[in-house]
Structure 1
Amino acid sequence: MKWFFIALLSLGMSSGVFASSSSTAKCPSDSFAEFVKAFSSEREIQKAFVVSPVKHVHVTADGKIPKVVEQSLSAIAADELNVLLPENAISLNLKIEIELPNRVIVRDEKGHFLKIFVFKHDHCWALKRVEDWTLDAVMDEITQSEKLAPGELELKKGVIFDRLVNKASAESGIYLYAAVLDSYLDGARKGSAQAAVAAAGISLSGMAPRLDNDEILSLLIQAYNSIPDVAVSLAQFYCDQGDYEVRRACVDPQKSIATLEGAVMRGSTRALIRLGEVYESDAVVPSDLPRALACYREAQKTMPQLVARKVDQLVARGVLDNSIQCIKAGSL
């Protein structure tokens, strides 16, 4: 991430190393938030309150595969700590979050930068672990020979962040999931429909921060305009507004059905199957089994393995489609 290190140099920051001498130094505060404030701004406190050895985690590229490397260092480079100073973070468009009881998170909101500083407390607080999850340099190496469409790099980065969650602690994983969402959102802003649907999905999953409904709807519509199969997710969202735990009538059945029908007209077999399920279930509109069978029979032409059983079950119940069409005449 060359721009970041150039910015640090422009601020005249030291590239020295700090080792711990905390046993003789006076503790600035027993309050973690107050300690972090002093630790961020005073070099002598930084020198005194870093344990040795200190754990350092970062991500490298092993060919096309990201690899998490953990090292035990006798000392830590001073410039690792520069981003903890608020004015430095602000100048680099980073935000600092103090997470009790013992973590400081420094990150941006586009998935470009993520560092987590973990402290321990004995007679005072001391930095014991630095986790650098920043992926820009890794992505440059992994994708160097690829021609990527706008937003695809950010989509790939989000996928890698998602995979790295399994390599992190539960406490750090929360912020990796936030980086997943931030990367997908950045990809969506750059025009990737896949990134848009991925952003909506990770937000609705509960693993990443929950976007507001208007933003989720906008993401799903963006994706649907390019990927007809997204109609299944968009139609569901029109019904439940992302609230899966509460059983209730569909909030907007008209838009839900219209979305599925529009996708069917654009060639989506998955939307066709979902339309059949809607007419069979009585959950969105009143049950219409002949129409459900017509939808399944139409889908059977392209995805027989997915609907053969559904067709057989309705036929066994005596349902006949006759001349009924899946999509009602004049509905679009």
Structure 2
Amino acid sequence: MTTNKYIMKWFSIALLSLGMSSGAYASSPNATQCPSSDFVEFVKAFSSEPEIQKAFIAPSVKHVHVTADGKIPKVVERSLNAIDADELKVLLPENAAAANLIIQIKVPNRVIVRDEAGHFLKIFVFKRGGCWVLNRVEDWTLDAVMNEITQSEKLTPGELELKKGVIFDRLVNKASPDSGIYLYAAALDSYLDGARKGSPKAAIAAAGISLSGQAPRLENSKILELFIQASNNIPDAGLALSMFYCDEGNYDNERPCINPEKSMVALESAAQRGSINALVRLGEVYETGAVVPSDPPRAMACYQEAQRKDPESSTPSVERLATQGVVRNPSIQCIKVGSL
């Protein structure tokens, strides 16, 4: 009997050392029981019942948020002995819906609360023991930080959202891989918000991060819309538009250009509006026959026109064609007359 008492005593000490003897793990008959072994069901109970919240919050919770250090966003992590009940209210579906927020429960241990415009992003991380316990809250919401960083700047419509998207993108390096994917999504949402407000740079940023595979993939029709919006103001965006007409973002699949006519129109328009990169690309297109039939003399005309505007841009291409016997024909222009 004495031996059993010693065993129980040391067993209790072992549990204490592992942090497993608190009410959060329901170690005594009077402790709150784990509401469910299924994480989704656990979250539903946790979000709606204050007593369960009290029982299943770790004694020390890691809290992450972003502040402004001058013009630079800074990630601050600290340990808290308590979490404000108001911070947990967003986990209740009706509260989230009222604030136009989306709740995403990600097995095995995360709850993401976010909007679709990059204004709100919180991640609640649980640790599994005998039950789940909330041990980390990440608040990546940037609106207050952006107000402080840009308070002395005169911003054009959509530029604030563009800057916020860039910051979300950079903050990925400060987050875990599991959280980083939601920062990329918030960056995309911010860029899209900036595009809606008229920023062509935000439009091309949204298309780019979506095609990169880092953020969620938008529908092709939406990506096309973004590239067109951007190309109306940024000549080089016409180059991206031209390439998207050909491959629709499937870079790994070598296949004929899907829409060569629209691709060439976008490329020539970009070149006429001053894009040297578009001129070089036209040279490549005519040299290789990748979009239209091969036309080396016209390729030479494109390369030389680019060379006149920027000597370093295509000199090697001009020299390469010259060694192949291609000569400049003054009667041939890079962009055919009346092609646009």
TM-score by length of 2: 0.91
User: Is 1:330–2:332 an aligned residue pair?
Assistant: no
Distance 2:121 2:128 in 1: 23
User: RMSD value over aligned CA atoms?
Assistant: 1.0
% identical equivalent positions: 70
Partner SS state of residue 58, structure 1: strand
SS in 1 for 2:133: strand
Asked whether the 8 Å contact 1:59–1:133 carries over to 2, the reply is yes
Q: Select 1:134's aligned residue among 141, 148, 154.
A: 141
> Amino acid of the residue matched to residue 150 of structure 2?
T
After the TM superposition, which residues 137-286 of structure 1 pair with which residues of structure 2 at under 5 Å, given as runs? 137-286=144-293
Q: Secondary structure at the match of 1:300?
A: helix
Name 2:8's counterpart in structure 1. Answer: none
Displacement after TM superposition at 1:330 (Å): 2.2
What letter corresponds to residue 25 of structure 1 in structure 2? Answer: T
2:69 is equivalent to residue 62 of structure 1 = yes
CA distance, structure 1, for counterparts of residue 78 and residue 309 of structure 2: 53
1:289 maps onto 2:291 in alignment? no
| SS in structure 2 of the partner of residue 148 of structure 1 | coil
- Distance in 2 (CA, whole Å) between partners of 1:329 and 1:33 is 64
Show the 5 A alignment for 1:102-141: 102-141=109-148
Distance apart, 1:329 and its partner CA: 2.2
* Aligned AA (2:287): E
Residue 21 of structure 1: how far off its partner (Å): 4.0
Q: Could you tell me how far apart the structure 1 residues matched to 2:339 and 2:215 are?
A: 38
Structure with bigger gyration radius: 2
- Equivalent pair of 1:56/1:130 in contact (CA under 8 Å): yes
Q: SS of the residue aligned with 1:311? A: helix
Report the Cα distance in structure 2 between the residues aligned to 1:330 and 1:225, rounded to whole angstroms: 20
Deviation at 1:263, TM superposition (A): 1.6
Query: What is the alpha-carbon distance in structure 2 between the residues aligned to residue 286 and residue 81 of structure 1?
Result: 62
Please tell me whether the aligned partners of residues 21 and 47 of structure 1 are also in contact (alpha carbons under 8 angstroms): no
CA deviations on 1:159-203 (whole Å, 9 max, x unpaired) are 000000011111101100100100000000000000000000000
Q: Provide the rounded CA distance (Å) in 2 between the counterparts of 1:327 and 1:169.
A: 49
For 2:34 and 2:329, how far apart are their aligned partners in 1? 83
How many corresponding residue pairs? 313
2:311 is matched with: 304
Runs of at least 5 residues in structure 1 that lack an aligned partner in the other structure: 1-19
CA distance in 2: counterparts of 1:104 and 1:67, whole angstroms: 23
SS at match of 1:184: helix
SS in 2 for 1:66: strand
Cα distance in 2 between the residues matched to 1:66 and 1:148: 18
Partner of 1:83: 90
Deviations 1:48-84 (A, max 9, x none): 1000211000000010000111111111111110100
SS at match of 2:214: coil
Counterpart pick for 1:22 among 21, 24, 47:
24
Partner AA of 2:84 in structure 1: A
Superposed structure 1 runs of 4+ greater than 3 Å apart: none
Deviation at residue 302 of structure 1 after TM alignment:
1.6
2:309 maps to a residue whose letter is T
Secondary structure of the residue aligned to 1:154 is helix
C-alpha distance in 1, partners of 2:269/2:144? 42
Aligned residues of 1:159 and 1:180 also touching (Cα < 8 A)? yes
Matched, 1:94 2:105: no
SS of corresponding position for 1:52: strand
State the 1:321 CA deviation. Answer: 2.2
TM-score with structure 1 setting the length: 0.93
Residue number in structure 2 paired with 1:16: none
Aligned to 2:14: none
> Match for 2:94: what amino acid?
E
Please list the CA deviations of residues 237-275 of structure 1 after superposition, one character each: whole Å capped at 9, or x if unmatched.
000011112110000111111111112222222211111
Q: CA deviation at 1:318?
A: 1.1
In 2: Cα distance, 1:21 partner to 1:321 partner: 84
> Deviation per CA, 1:107-138, whole angstroms, max 9, x where unpaired?
00000000000001111111010000000000
